[in-house]
Amino acid sequence: MISFDDTEIAFKIKSNADLKRAYWLFKIIGSPTMVKVGKWSTNTALKIGLPIKGIIKKTIFSQFCGGETIADCTKTIKILGDFGVGTILDYSVEGKTSEEDFDATVDEIISTIHAAKGNPNIPFAVFKVTGISRFSILEKANDLNAILTEEEKLALDTTISRIDKICSEAFKNDVSVFIDAEETWIQDTIDRITLEMMRKYNKERAIVFNTLQMYRHDRIDYLEQEISIARKEGFHYGIKLVRGAYMEKERERAKQKGYPSPIQPDKKACDTDFDKALEIIVKNIDCLALCAGSHNEQSALALIDLLEKNGIAKNDSRIYFAQLLGMSDHISYNLSHGGYNVAKYVPYGPIKEVMPYLLRRADENTSVAGQTSRELSLIMKERNRRATQK
């Protein structure tokens, strides 16, 4: 039986210095006031050119990122792989708006696919559509009744071509690729494009994966609809299942614009739908593939139970667990030690350009009840265990 309380396994790859750094980082992240002050001071320092990159690199960047380039991530990839944990290279540069930058990002994503080719330690690639497209185009196209100008049609076609270029490269290199979920007011556009990519590239197995955010109350119906389409048309449907990352923004926008919130009424409803989706997916695993992206121990145990009840092997290639680098090591390493397929999201990119990602990660950790305190309690337990063994 898997125990997520086994800190010796969870932190085996961490030195005492690593644990000390993680302890203080999670102490800071656990304080909303400290996060707010830290965000302001970091952004200000970067804007005025203060030499703080070295400090960032040794602290929050080292905890949550693999490096500034794919080559920099080599050490992290090997260390994770030595303990049976895969790497999902995540180019986490945000906020680009020029066509040249979008094309450069496509090339970088394709480089992660090439790095994954034939490498069992890199089971997936991943990208966000907003990293290679203007947000406004995705938003307008979300409304099927909207009339796009010729310029907008061209921009949308260019976006689709970029996505197809990535998915085609993934198909040629036999590497599965996740297309991340984003805000509801652009997600329908992403869903439609992703479905077309699946129809094209998922005939033999799930190469292209869509992402379902279960904090949305409509995703169970959507999941069942998509499974029906996949069965009817005879292709495999890849699903990355997550709870979601835009909840506060979604609620605020719905309130401002006066439409019903797309978000679940409470955490319990979100958890219920997440676990229900796991059941549906496992039941239909003959035409699906799953990556359960969750830091929730109960959901991990629920999936383990479903695999056992349905006679599915722990290491079935169609089913993966995933967590973020620097978080929930007690889940990742104990699952891997137990023989399950596990991967870590490993963000990378130039320090200044991944700061929006890192600061958002700090915000999310602060807002998730119990997440930071759980991380801290386990780190303290392991530090005490090591101290008593000296």
Structure-token pair, residue 32: 């909303």
Predicted confidence at residue 215, as pLDDT, reads 95
Structure-token pair, residue 294: 């969750």
Predicted confidence at residue 155, as pLDDT, reads 97
Predicted confidence at residue 287, as pLDDT, reads 97
Note the pLDDT tens digit of each residue in 312-330: 999 999 999 999 999 999 9
Query: For 96-101, what is the mean pLDDT?
Result: 92
One-letter amino acid at 166 equals I
Q: Which one, of 170, 177, 91, 94, lies nearest residue 130 by Cα?
A: 94
Architecture of domain 66-348: Alpha-Beta Barrel (3.20)
pLDDT-derived band at 185, boundaries 50, 70, 90: very high
Query: For 154-180, what is the mean pLDDT?
Result: 98
Across-strand partners of 306? Answer: none
Q: What is the 3-state secondary structure (H, E, C) of 75-142?
A: HHHHHHHHCCEEEEEEECCCCCCCHHHHHHHHHHHHHHHHHHCCCCCCCEEEECHHHCCCHHHHHHHH
Predicted confidence at residue 27, as pLDDT, reads 82
Note the pLDDT tens digit of each residue in 194-244: 999 999 999 999 999 999 999 999 999 999 999 999 999 999 999 999 998
Which has the higher per-residue pLDDT, 3 or 338?
Answer: 338
Say which DSSP state 286 is in.
G
For the chain, what are the domain ranges?
A: 1-65+352-390, 66-348
Across the chain, mean pLDDT equals: 92
CA end-to-end distance (rounded Å), the chain = 29
CB 320 within 8 A of CB 342: yes
CB 241 within 8 A of CB 275: no
Predicted confidence at residue 390, as pLDDT, reads 67
Predicted confidence at residue 354, as pLDDT, reads 87
With a cut of 90, say whether residue 54 has pLDDT above it.
Answer: no
Question: Left, alpha or beta for 184 (phi > 0: left; psi -120 to 50: alpha)?
Answer: alpha
